[in-house]
Structure 1
Amino acid sequence: MGSHPVNLLIRFLLELIALLSVGLWGWKSFEGALQYVLGLGLPILMTIVWGTFAVPDDPSRSGKSPIPVSGPIRLVIEVIFFALAVWTLDQLEYTRLSYALCVIVLVHYLVSYDRIKWLLSKRNSGN
């Protein structure tokens, strides 16, 4: 289920929303050069982390992992990624959107229980 095309599309959309949320927070919360650094730099940094640290042979990804990590570490990265998006929406006073994003992410992970189980079984990055 976690690698079903519809679920992958939903995850991709959630990732885009998370990047937009963090970028919007950086842009609206600061002024001057910091506005550009955080508004553009944070989403770029998050994209790099998201794409770089992966579990080898993850069926929901290409299977490639530039920097292999264990499943639990990858799960922590994902939780931080989405939690940051929820927090930034809340900080921007888009409270209902932050709650909605949180609920959608939680439902997505509940539906992806097979992927969560797989991630938790991958204790070593070489497995």
Structure 2
Amino acid sequence: MSLNPFMLGVRFLLELAAIVSFGVLGWREFDAPWRYLLGAVLPLIVAVVWGTFAVPGDPSRNGEATVAVPGAVRLVVEVAVLGGGAVALWAAGLTVTALISAVVLVAYQALAYDRVGWLLSH
């Protein structure tokens, strides 16, 4: 189910939304000059973490891993980044957007149970 093109599209949008959410947090919660720095750097850090730690052979990615990690570690990274995006929106005062993000994330994870199972078994 998780390799369905629609599900991959939803996951990609969740990834983008989470990365942008950290930038929104940096922009809204800090004054200049920090807002400019954190608005740019926080999303970069999150994107690097997201792209660096992977499970070798992950069928939802290219199969390669810059830093190979067990599936359980990758699942923690995914929850931290995607869930962290919703938390960042909440902290930035965008409660409705945060709740929508969280609901979509929970629905995605429930429908992508096969991916969660694959990660936990690798």
TM-score by length of 2: 0.95
- Percent identity, please: 41
Question: 2:20 and 2:84 mapped to 1: Cα distance?
Answer: 11
In the alignment, what sits opposite 2:31? Answer: 31
Mapping of residues 99-114 of structure 1, within 5 Å? 99-114=99-114
Moved over 4 A (4+): none
The more displaced of 91-100 and 102-111 is: 91-100
1:83 positional shift: 2.0
Q: Which runs of 5+ in 1 are unaligned?
A: 123-127
Given that residues 25 and 89 in structure 2 are in contact (C-alpha distance below 8 angstroms), is that contact kept between their aligned partners in structure 1?
yes
CA RMSD of aligned residues (A): 0.9
State the aligned residue count.
Answer: 122
Question: 2:110 and 2:32 mapped to 1: Cα distance?
Answer: 41
1:65 and 2:65 correspond:
yes
Question: 2:104 and 2:83 mapped to 1: Cα distance?
Answer: 12
* Matched residue type, 1:5: P
Given that residues 83 and 105 in structure 2 are in contact (C-alpha distance below 8 angstroms), is that contact kept between their aligned partners in structure 1?
no
SS in 2 for 1:10: helix
SS in 2 for 1:56: coil
Question: 1:91 and 1:48 mapped to 2: Cα distance?
Answer: 22
Mapping of residues 11-50 of structure 1, within 5 Å? 11-50=11-50
Q: Which runs of 5+ in 2 are unaligned?
A: none
1:12 positional shift: 0.4
Question: 2:112 and 2:43 mapped to 1: Cα distance?
Answer: 24
In the alignment, what sits opposite 2:88? Answer: 88
